[in-house]
Amino acid sequence: MAFRENLLQKIRIDQLAGRVLATIGALGSEVKLDKEAMRQLLSLSPYSPQRVRDLDLYVEETDAPVKKILVLDNELPIYRTTVADVAMRKSPTVGEMAKIWNIIKILRDSDVKISRKADSLKAVQDESIARLDLSFNAEDINDIRRDGIRIFGDVRTAQGFVTTDLDDNQITAFHPGAMNASHENRVGDVADIALGIVAPDGRDGMRAHVEQFAQAGIPFVFDPGQGLPLFSGPELIAMIDAATFVAVNDYEGRLLAERTGLALEAIAQRVDALIVTMGGEGARIHAGGATIELPVVPAAAVVDPTGCGDAFRAGLLYGIVQGWDWERTGRLAATLGSIKIASRGGQNHTLSRDRVASLHYEVFNAYLW
């Protein structure tokens, strides 16, 4: 495969490994392994499936008589032995159990078991990636998909400068630059869009993209943000009616209600969901005639609110794409916002599925993945 395809496959391998890792519990845990994700990962690995007795085995692709063999169960053990030996140890027959030497092997498998749980997952992930040629040259970089990206040589990239006071009030100075030409990018220029978001952008671009998402039947979030003052009440109503979801903070919600003459409850009735974030007071999701109150997820430190709304929306988009219910989606969004506020700057925080899942469980006493 070319570099682009290999890079996409590596990303897929990492994503699948992350899904599986989030479902690997401690010894004796009732957490069930995501076997479907593990099967997909193994299909990209140097292991071939074999069904032996009642076991799902994945056997290293080699001609050697002794092979690495993974058993797809909640423990994810990998053995270095033969298929027959693994079958006897993991699913012995009555006749096999009648032999004392076999009983010893069944009870003490450390002579052939080389890894289990997260260690086995990491081994499969590493071996899968090792098969990929990730070397590249300038031509490979130029081949990476760039539809939806437009470059202008005579203007600068949009720039925002956010000033935050000690009470976390913010003033933003913004130079739109090339963003004023965002309307030249069309939704139809990009294939296979599952979900969109129309966030603060050039005025013409926001209007055009709302219309194009709606015409294409693509669900999208209308997130007007700082772009709200650019539109009249009738324009905002038309954009709300075209949207699937609307997301605002509490100040933007009041301004949206004022400009449109519609109460937030009335706006909520025009979309599948209205999401309102309220800073230190949590968030509300209005959907299906009900209101879900989301508490604040305590942060390790309150350092900088810049980018918290973006982190929250990342959680919303992920939950929507995954088909989650609104409570689960909102909890993920709140968790991401909490992690972000502990770092200075809009994009200087780091995330991992383990960190997100751990904080979510600590606050909500529920598994996220």
Q: For residues 34 and 25, what is the distance between their CA atoms, to the nearest angstrom?
A: 11
pLDDT of residue 353: 82
pLDDT, average across residues 135-160? 83
What pLDDT sits at residue 141?
Answer: 78
My answer on whether 347 and 256 are in the same domain is yes
Question: 100 and 237, same structural domain?
Answer: no
Domain assignment present for residue 146? The answer is no
Domain-located, residue 268: yes
Considering the chain, what is the average pLDDT of its residues? Answer: 92
Residue 138 lies in a domain: no
pLDDT of residue 165: 86
167 and 85 within one domain: no
Check whether residue 248 and residue 343 sit in a common domain.
Answer: yes
- Looking at the DSSP bridge assignments, the partners of residue 248 are 276
Whether the pLDDT of residue 146 is over 80: the answer is no
Q: What is the pLDDT of residues 289-320, one digit of tens each?
A: 999 999 999 999 988 888 899 999 999 999 99
Q: Which two tokens stand for residue 302?
A: 């309150």
- The reported pLDDT for the residue numbered 50 is 96
> Domain check: are 178 and 119 in the same one?
no
Domain shared by 210 and 346, yes or no:
yes
Compute, in degrees rounded to 10, the torsion defined by CA atoms 8, 9, 11, 16. Answer: 140
User: DSSP states of 278-324 as a string?
Assistant: -GGG-EEEEETTEEEEEPPPPPS-----TTHHHHHHHHHHHHHHHT-
Q: What is the pLDDT of residues 178-225, one digit of tens each?
A: 999 999 999 998 888 999 999 999 999 999 999 999 999 999 999 999
Cα–Cα distance measured from residue 172 to residue 160, given in angstroms and rounded to the nearest whole number: 7
**194 & 298 share domain:** yes
Indicate if 288 and 351 belong to the same structural domain: yes
CA distance 358 to 337: 15
Residue pLDDT, tens place only, 331-356:
999 999 999 999 888 888 888 888 89
For residue 172, what pLDDT band results from cuts at 50, 70 and 90?
confident
Which residues, listed in sequence order, are joined to residue 273 by a DSSP beta bridge? 245, 287
Do 97 and 181 share a domain, yes or no?
Answer: no
Which domain-ending residue is among 113, 130, 147? 130
Report CA torsion sign: 338, 340, 341, 342: positive
If asked whether residues 198 and 269 sit together in one domain, one would say yes
Give yes or no for a contact between 292 and 306, defined as CB atoms under 8 angstroms apart. Answer: no
Question: Quick one: average pLDDT of 71-79?
Answer: 95
Count of positions (residues) in the chain: 369
75 is a domain residue = yes
CB-based burial of residue 221 (10 Å sphere; 0-12 exposed, 13-18 middle, 19+ buried)? buried
- Which one of 130, 146, 169 terminates a domain? 130
| Same domain assignment for residues 93 and 179 | no
Q: How confident is the model at residue 152 (pLDDT cuts 50, 70, 90)?
A: confident
Domain count, the chain: 2
Mean pLDDT, residues 70-78: 95
The pLDDT of 238-242, averaged and rounded, is: 98
Indicate whether 144 belongs to any domain: no
Quick one: 196 and 236 in the same domain? yes
Whether 101 shows a pLDDT value over 70: the answer reads: yes
The pLDDT, as a whole number, for residue 256 is 97
Q: What percent of the chain has pLDDT over 90?
A: 70
Degrees to nearest 5, angle at CA 255 with 251 and 292: 55
| Secondary structure class of 81 (helix, strand, coil) | strand
Residue 147, domain member (yes or no) = no
What residues make up the domain containing 289? 159-364
CATH number of the domain enclosing 319? 3.40.1190.20
Residue 149 lies in a domain: no
pLDDT the model gives residue 29:
62
Please, are residues 55 and 90 in contact by the beta-carbon 8 Å criterion?
A: yes
Tell me if 207 is assigned to some domain.
yes
Q: 323: which 2 tokens?
A: 């088909």
pLDDT of amino acid 368: 84
